[in-house]
């Protein structure tokens, strides 16, 4: 069984060392003490989600907090190249499913995209609540996957902003069922950002494809079948992460 991971404030970690103690409280402490029911002597890892890690052992447990003794501290470098997925908004709870799977696979940044043919619309209060669910899903999936760099889930973007991301990338790709080149055959950069656009259920419009092409993006075919928008991102991530050596 893998060692559980919890989020904690590890600021000032460089001044601490073996033997110092950290109080885990709030929602994370409650989950560790009351849900996971960790007991003295058990191992756990704490991270700030930005690469800092403290390997710990539980020393004391209260109702909804625990105290952990640090065995070792270290930093994990961010992986390169960085993988960014611009995700057309799926309908229903498929957005959280997409975020969960992409987080587990290793996607670094997830960008919600308000594409023209999105059935789901993030507006008003709904936008804030939906974004909060995506970010919570990414956080929990990251801990489950033992990721010490949690993915960033950005604010919702327009097509124009998505095109800007593609223009600034080392490689920009748009998944499209009519593309001539397979994703597995596109040369990858050794560094920088790889930005992949995944369209919504209704597909990407001709105007959106034109805007992305103008930004330097390459249309790519993911495979012989048409995947759901909620699974295309993780499938593309698997192809790219294995080819660039991160897997």
Residues 34 and 145 in one domain: no
229 and 179 in one domain?
A: yes
Final residue belonging to a domain, choices 75, 101, 125: 75
Average pLDDT, the chain: 94
230, 170: one domain: yes
Per-residue model confidence (pLDDT) at position 11: 81
One domain for residues 109 and 197? yes
Instruction: Examine the domain organization and report whether 64 and 88 are in the same domain.
Output: no
Q: Is the pTM of this model over 0.85?
A: yes
Contact status, residue 134 vs residue 151, Cβ threshold 8 Å:
no
Domains of the chain: total: 2
Strands 109-113 and 152-153: parallel
CATH (domain of 65): 2.40.240.20
Q: Are residues 129 and 63 in the same domain?
A: no
Q: Are residues 28 and 116 in the same domain?
A: no
17, pLDDT greater than 80:
no
Whether residues 160 and 71 share a domain: the answer is no
| 163-200 residue pLDDT tens | 999 999 999 999 999 899 999 999 999 899 999 999 99
If asked whether residues 191 and 164 sit together in one domain, one would say yes
Let me know whether 166 and 223 are in one domain: yes
Domain boundary among 32, 47, 75: 75
93 and 122 within one domain: yes
CATH label of the domain that carries residue 150: 3.40.1280.10
Q: Where among 75, 94, 119 does a domain terminate?
A: 75
Higher pLDDT: 19 or 8? It is 8
The rounded percent of the chain whose pLDDT value lies above 70 is 97
Specify whether the CB–CB gap between 182 and 173 falls below 8 A.
no
Task: Kindly state whether residues 33 and 99 are assigned to the same domain.
Answer: no
| pLDDT, tens digit, 9 for 90 and up, residues 134-146 | 999 999 999 999 9
Specify the pLDDT at position 15.
43
Distance between CA atoms of residues 120 and 232, nearest Å: 17
Q: What is the pLDDT of residue 18?
A: 61
- CA distances (Å), origin 1, targets 39, 43, 44, 46, 237: 15, 11, 12, 17, 26
Domain that holds residue 160: 82-243
Q: Calculate mean pLDDT across residues 37-63.
A: 97
């Amino acid at each position: 069984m893998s060692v559980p991971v919890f989020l904690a404030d590890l600021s000032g970690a460089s001044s601490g060392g073996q033997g110092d103690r950290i109080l885990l409280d709030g929602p994370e402490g409650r989950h560790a003490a009351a849900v996971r029911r960790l007991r003295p002597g058990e191992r756990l890892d704490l991270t700030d989600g930005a690469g800092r890690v403290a390997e710990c052992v539980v020393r004391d447990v209260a109702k909804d907090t625990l105290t952990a003794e640090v065995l070792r501290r270290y930093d994990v470098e961010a992986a390169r190249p960085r993988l960014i997925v611009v995700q057309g908004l799926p309908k229903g709870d498929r957005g959280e499913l997409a975020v969960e799977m992409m987080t587990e696979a290793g996607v670094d940044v997830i960008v919600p995209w308000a594409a023209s043919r999105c059935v789901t619309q993030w507006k008003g209060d709904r936008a804030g609540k939906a974004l909060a669910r995506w970010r919570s899903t990414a956080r929990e999936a990251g801990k489950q996957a033992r990721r010490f760099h949690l993915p960033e889930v950005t604010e919702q973007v327009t097509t124009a902003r998505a095109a800007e991301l593609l223009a600034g990338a080392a490689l920009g790709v748009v998944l499209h069922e009519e593309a001539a080149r397979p994703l597995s055959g596109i040369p990858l950069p050794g560094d920088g950002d790889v930005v992949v656009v995944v369209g919504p259920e209704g597909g990407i419009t001709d105007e959106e494809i034109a805007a992305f092409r103008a930004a330097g993006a390459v249309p790519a075919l993911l495979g012989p079948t048409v995947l759901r928008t909620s699974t295309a991102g993780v499938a593309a991530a698997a192809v790219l992460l294995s080819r660039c050596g991160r897997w």
